[in-house]
Amino acid sequence: MSSAPNHGTVTETGPPRKRVSAVSVAGSVQQVFSHVKVENLVAGLSGGVVSTLVLHPLDLVKIRFAVSDGLELRPKYSGMLHCMKSVWHQEGLRGLYQGVTPNVWGAGASWGFYFFFYNAIKGYTKEGRQDELSAGEHLVSAAEAGILTLIITNPIWVTKTQIVLQYNSDQTSKQYKGMVDALVKIYRNEGVPGLYRGFVPGLFGTSHGALQFMAYEELKRTYSKYKNVPTDTKLNTLEYITMAALSKLFAVATTYPYQVVRVRLQDQHNKYNGVVDVMSRTWRNEGAKGFYKGIVPNLIRVTPACCITFVVYENVSRFLLGTK
């Protein structure tokens, strides 16, 4: 866990220190959970679900571009609009929302648990202190929240990826009837490792959320100082949108290649021997640009998605916590 106030023995000559023992670890965990608020879970889940329902077709486009590695079975697209038109003509609206169920579950659970864990860890870290958390502490709190969230949600993301990559032109790939069917079949055929495909690059991906939350918190703090108001002052919708968009753009530009690696590991049409194999083959066959395939539809999707999520989260959490 990140640094936190002392809950152990206090010495007379130096700062408080914690005893490293099973008892102190258990005490630390208990302290973290004392800061848990279900309202943060509900608010985060609400934001993730709303943004996913609105923007899922762009997510489908992003994933299909990210895995476009030349395999004959994959449809060929000249651009985003061509991809969306092709899917629409072949499969209609249902095709554009292929994989939406695990995406809604995954995004809802991810945002919900992320805000849930992040606020609990942040509250624990700040306990007993009057000063604000530093950028580094926000970064570490968000990374820890991301790891816990990934452990819970990775199987959902695997099913989403494989359902989205069922091509209408290749009926042999139409092996899943839905999210539950996919979960059962992946587990039956590959066991737990199959449900945790892409977990390692996903761990690297927690840096994405960590960088985003750090930037978001720092932007809010800087802006609040500029306006000379407390950092927890409610901002208007446009201000939240601006800060969410800037923080998301910063995180995407920094960490996008891991998403390509992760999606390719989760793709059922190609077999890789791990992260290094994906990276070496992508570099050898496609060069540096291969690691940025799908970034344009991703930016077009995630920027408004992030804005919607944060606006919904800020308002729902404030309403729920205010009501309580």
| 324 residues of the chain, pLDDT tens digit each | 444 444 443 444 444 544 445 555 555 656 665 666 788 888 888 888 888 888 888 888 877 777 776 676 677 777 778 888 888 888 888 888 888 888 888 888 888 898 889 988 988 888 878 788 888 898 999 999 999 999 999 998 888 888 877 876 555 555 788 888 989 999 999 999 999 988 987 887 788 888 988 999 899 889 988 888 887 788 888 888 899 899 988 888 888 888 888 888 877 677 888 889 989 998 998 898 888 887 887 788 778 888 888 888 888 888 887 765
Q: b vs e for 265-288, b when ≥16 Cβ sit within 10 Å of the residue's Cβ?
A: bbbbbeebeebeebbebbeeebee
Structure tokens at 170: 């290749």
Q: Find the distance separating the first CA and the last CA of the chain, reported in whole Å.
A: 28
What pLDDT shows up at residue 21? Answer: 55
Q: What are the residue ranges spanned by the domains of the chain?
A: 1-34, 37-323
Among 157, 140, 152, 165, smallest CA distance to 64 is for: 165
Torsional class of 128: left (φ above 0), alpha (ψ -120 to 50), beta (otherwise): left
Question: CA separation (Å) from 152 to 11, 156, 235, 287, 288?
Answer: 40, 9, 32, 33, 32
| Phi, psi for 230 (deg, rounded to 5) | -60, 150
Domain 37-323 has CATH 1.10.1510.10: no
Instruction: Give the Cα separation of 274 and 261 in Å (integer).
Output: 9
Instruction: Give the Cα separation of 102 and 173 in Å (integer).
Output: 18
